Structure 1
Amino acid sequence: PLGKNMIGAFYQPRLVVADLSTLHTLPPRELSAGLAEVIKHAAIADVDFLAWLEAHIDALRAQDDAALAEAVARCCRIKAKVVAQDETETGLRAILNFGHTFGHAIEAGMGYGNWLHGEAVGAGMVLAADLSVRLGLLAPADAERLARLIARAGLPVRAPDLGAERWAECMQVDKKTEGGEVRFVLLNGLGRPVLRAAPMTEAQASIAAHLQPSQPQAVSSA
């Protein structure tokens, strides 16, 4: 009832298999939701990959096999590099949660299943980028660039109006919260993530600037 991904155990796989043919079974909304995580990997770790996504996002949405294979391979390399350095999520691995503090709050606040995880993460990345701008970490043009790509992926770039109290409640149960402080994965420039606490007033300002009606499939322009 309080959230997701709050408790877990770590078991390393012996083998990872990516059967790309399964992606062709996904409806467009589910495919877009998956692209949120692809964009996340580029935003936190690889500006060149971000530029590649900008050039190939239409091919990915059209399920072009070559584009899908390239995206999956690059995401696997990024995640493997991060996890290898922080196997049990004591520090660095938290950067894989970019957009997820806001995103998990959306999922919990709306009720699980109303927004797909990727839709919530898509809007969450826009909010996290905006918060990065407000804290002087990220150039506004880079936040706008990221929001444009998220919108082109078929994802929402506006957040539901949960009310300030509910937003704060949902964010404060995030697994990155320590000592009552909500910590966010922010961008100190594209490809340069940083984990830091931020005033709730600033987080609320980012939310207020990006509200939309509670319709997960509606995509607003950045």
Structure 2
Amino acid sequence: MVSDSELIARLREFLKESDLNTTTTAIVRRRLEEDFGIDLSEKKKFIREQVDVYLQIQFENAEEEEQEQDKDDQMAKIKSEETDDSDSDVEEEESERTRNKRAPAKKGSKGVNNEVKRRGGGFNKVCRLSPQLQKLLGVPELARTEVVKQIWAYIREKNLQDPDNKKNIICDEPLNALFGVHSIDMFQMNKALSKHIWPLDSDEVVSVKSTEKEKQHKHEREGGMDGK
């Protein structure tokens, strides 16, 4: 029997070497089934949640790298201002090291994001958002990767990370309405988010549309009765 930890480890190895623009949760599940020789049909939800965790960790790492790069840039600028003209060679060498250090993060973050917007496949395929998530982000459809990005942008903008443990999120009123809790850690948040991100043709979307139509018909019936 394969443990969850073994599945997670292999899932992350596979995603690390995969193109997120073409890879899907179904592809990940089939690859895991091939690797372990078992049927993982009952693990579909678990695998989807772990994919979201991986995407969030990747985004978090990219953000931290960019913050470190900003610090390096600031230090290089200060050092440059304090250095005499005679030390120009040293400045050039420091600048070169900074550029080299920046290159990988650019490739993994902004470069990928631009490619995501152009291609929009795999995990970057546009999905339908739940009414609660639509209210928070202001759009009805978005790729899973962009949902993670915008949620974290919102969290940072509102300064909602616990200063003692930045992986713990203090929910303000909109996040509380979305998750139903006053605080949530990043792993629980991924699991909760997956319930609000649906394929465009999913049963959840059909159910929501049906509910909306029923409410509309009910309103029309009640309006007709009032008219009588």
- TM-score normalized by structure 2? 0.26
Q: Please identify the structure whose Cα radius of gyration is greater.
A: 2
- TM-score normalized by structure 1? 0.27
